[in-house]
Amino acid sequence: MMNRPDGEHNWSNNYPFCGGAFQSPIDFQTQLLRYDPNLPPIQVQNYNLSTKEQLTLSNNGHSVQLYLPSHMYISSLPHRYSAAQLHFHWGSSNLLTGSEHTVNGKRFAGEMHVVHFNSDKYPNISMAVDKHDGLAVLGVFIEIGEFNPAFDKFFKYMNGIKYRDQKIQVPAFNIHALLPARLDEYYRYDGSLTTPPCYPSVLWTVFRRPVTISRKQFLALATALYASYAQESTTVPLHGNYRKPQIADNRVVLVSFKDGK
């Protein structure tokens, strides 16, 4: 999917930031990491949504996206960052690796991004997306292992959004259950959107511990969806939608955990 003319090596032709500084994702190599004892555990508020609420799940042609209400927010950063959406990056049915961030070269099966915007300073995500302090993203590595009931709360609706631009309403649920158990161990660095226009506007927090989904759940994600519209005669599968690691470029990655160092 990624070697079509719109593949990532051509992004900077149309989106100059994609060829610029502070790009994401990166490989968290041991030598980039610096332990910072002052990094607080991540605290999120109002993540336990009422099932009376409806959320929109969509296939935007690049990923599966679940829109989130802005009364959800991260409270442990210098500004309040309110939720906007979460989406996924994953491999394919014959290549089970598709995370964007990697750890010493290791790529996980997938990665979830919970995107928040700085609501202290900006009225909505469109106003925040290109500002240096505009976005904060929580990144979660996904591994294949035990079945994950929280992910099934919307994975089970995948067939309703097989094609690009299809949307479906799903009952809300506890979004906190999608996160790993430990929110105190994470990688923190300044980076960018991982898709065009690649604005360098993201304060990244990538949790150290992955969550698991079952192989069956992963295959549902990796095989159910198309990047093409329903009316197109050629169907383009939606998978392998991750960007390769970018240059670390003198960046330091702060870590909230002591890795035996």
Domains detected in the chain? 15-38+45-255 (3.10.200.10)
pLDDT digits (tens, 9 = 90+) for 211-227: 999 999 999 999 999 99
Write the pLDDT tens digit of every residue in 105-114: 999 999 999 9
Residues in Cβ contact with 210 at an 8 Å cutoff, skipping those fewer than 6 apart = 108, 140, 141, 142, 143, 180
Contact 116, 136 (CB under 8 A): yes
| pLDDT on residue 180 | 98
| Backbone dihedral angles phi then psi of residue 108, each to the nearest 5 degrees | -85, 175
Looking at residue 6, its pLDDT comes to 58
Q: Pick out the chain residues at pLDDT < 50.
A: 1-5, 260-261
Residue 17's pLDDT is 96
Q: What pLDDT was estimated at residue 259? A: 72
Closest residue by Cα to residue 216 from 150, 148, 140, 139:
148
Provide the Cα torsion 157, 158, 163, 165; round to 10°: 60
- Residues assigned a catalytic role: 62
